[in-house]
Amino acid sequence: MAKKNLEIHGAMMENTFPIYKVDAIVQFFRTEVLTGQEAKHFAKGDLTPNPKTDVLQRLYMRILELVYRFRPDCHYLVPLSENLQHPMLHEWSTPILNLYACMCQFLPVCHVYDFSLNDLLNPKPKRTITILSGIQNFLHFRKHRLEIMAGHQQAFRADMDKLQSCTKGIKEAEKKIEKLMTIPPEQQAEAKELAAALTQLKNATVQETQAVNALNEQVTECKSEIAERSQKLKEKKLEVATHKDEIAKLKSQIVESPEELKNEMEKMKESIKNIKISKELADERLVEVQIDVQCTSQGEVEIQVILKQLHDLQASMCKTNQQKEEVQNLVALYESLQKELKGLSNEEGQLKRALAMKYDKQSKQQIRHQKKKELKDHNVQKILGQYDKVHEKREEIVDQIKNINRETMQLKAKMQKLRDTCNQNTEKAQAIYDRLLTTLEQYHKRLKNLVMEGSADIMKMKSNF
């Protein structure tokens, strides 16, 4: 016993949790564990200086209900696997043993490894304070972890909602892309006709632009020729004017010979004829150029009509380009959503890894706790062996009680028979008594009549005397 006490003291000294004050413990269990009237009636006097067993047992039951959802009513149930003849005899021991087994499984989580039946049946103040402080420390830790897990769950749900909205958006975008990319069957024929018309118009516009470019080149060449010829005419007119001035000066200075004058005049006539011929050729060329210009104006009108058609086609092409841009934007949206999906999947993988690490740690802790539980189960089995011996003794006592009950039943039957016979005898006596009473009453009446008659006779005798 001394060694065990030393081991328990050593375990108590090596606690990994702080030992709280009694006021703090009472306040915590009032606010966090107990409810209603139990919280109101729970006070410091229930723990110190003499802990109350009923209050502590009820508190432990409420703690188990909070942590494991194990209702206090379940502690009072006898296991169904055992075929007990008289379960009423186990009403006192069943809840205590169930509570002890549950607390032996729960308290190692709170780093309390030396819980015993004495802590339930005969609690001590220091011991109860250490146990309750360990439970309080665990409940603080549990509450903190529950808040963290609730935050993780909310974040996970928000991420899942985002993921669902992203997937919905991606599906809608894919449907829109399919609608934009696919031409309906009603408009396919029109689209083919428009494409064929576009190709024809493009070919015609290319040919006409080539023809217009050729005409523009010819017009520019004609204009350049006309400009050159007009410059030459101006130069020749200037030369003729200068020649006339010179001739006039020479005429005034020199007496010309008729032959030279004739030759010069013939030369001048020939030059004038040449100038006239060149003028006529230039006029003809101007007429041709004017005709070409009229043709070009008609071509320009036709080109403007074609340009209007091209503008219309360009507007339709702009619409198609806008649709293509929308498709590109949707594709970019799709890619960004896919990136967000990848990021969310990576976050989900990280969360899963963190959860796996937590589960590994929990499994390791469970293995450690399992080993400690096995030791405790061995001790519990020893206690249960002692309990079985007590149970056998109780069965012997129950058999004796059965025998006594049988004898009492027999005695009760005999007593009942005697009572029946007594009742019959009393009934007969009552009948006889009733008969006697009636006869006595009749006798008394007769006596009264005789007394009355005797008194009358005596009065007669007195009167006669």
Structure confidence at residue 174 (pLDDT): 85
Q: How far apart are the first and last CA of the chain?
A: 119
In this predicted structure, what is the pLDDT of residue 377?
81
Rounded CA separation 236/271 (Å): 10
User: How many CA atoms, within 13 angstroms, populate the side-chain half-sphere of residue 433?
Assistant: 6
Q: Is 112 left (phi over 0), alpha (psi -120 to 50) or beta?
A: beta
Residue 213, pLDDT score: 81
Kindly write down the DSSP assignment for every residue of 107-171, as one continuous string: GGGGT-----THHHHS--HHHHHHHHHHHHHHHHHHHHHHHHHHHHHHHHHHHHHHHHHHHHHHH
Residue range 22-80+89-173 forms a domain whose CATH class is mainly alpha
Q: Which residues contact 296 (CB under 8 A, 6 or more apart)?
A: 212, 215, 216, 219
What is the number of other CB atoms lying within 10 angstroms of the CB of residue 286? Answer: 14
**Which pLDDT value is given to residue 147?**
92
Check residue 81 and report its DSSP letter: T
Three-state SS sequence of 159-200: HHHHHHHHHHHHHHHHHHHHHHHCCCHHHHHHHHHHHHHHHH
The pLDDT of residue 89? 58
Closest CA to 458 of 447, 446, 450: 450
Residue spans of the domains in the chain: they are 22-80+89-173
d(CA 163, CA 158): 8
Please list the helix, strand and coil fractions of the chain in percent, rounded to the nearest 5, in that order.
Answer: 90, 0, 10
Tell me the one-letter amino acid at 284.
E
Please give the Cα distance from 73 to 95 (Å, whole number): 9
Reading the chain (465 residues) residue by residue, the pLDDT tens digits are 334 443 433 444 455 788 888 899 888 988 888 888 888 888 888 888 888 888 888 888 889 888 888 777 776 665 555 566 666 655 667 778 888 888 898 889 888 888 888 888 888 889 889 999 999 999 999 999 999 999 999 989 988 988 888 888 888 888 888 877 777 777 777 777 777 877 887 888 788 778 778 877 887 887 888 788 778 878 877 887 787 777 777 666 655 456 766 777 777 777 777 777 877 777 777 777 777 777 777 766 777 777 677 677 667 677 776 777 777 777 777 777 778 777 777 877 787 787 778 878 877 888 888 888 888 888 778 887 877 887 788 888 888 888 888 888 888 888 888 888 888 888 888 888 888 888 888 888 888 888 888 778 778 777 776
92 vs 390: CA distance, rounded Å: 14
What pTM did the predictor assign?
0.40
Secondary structure letter of residue 282 according to DSSP: H
Residue 17 near residue 137, CB atoms below 8 Å: yes
Looking at residue 137, its pLDDT comes to: 92
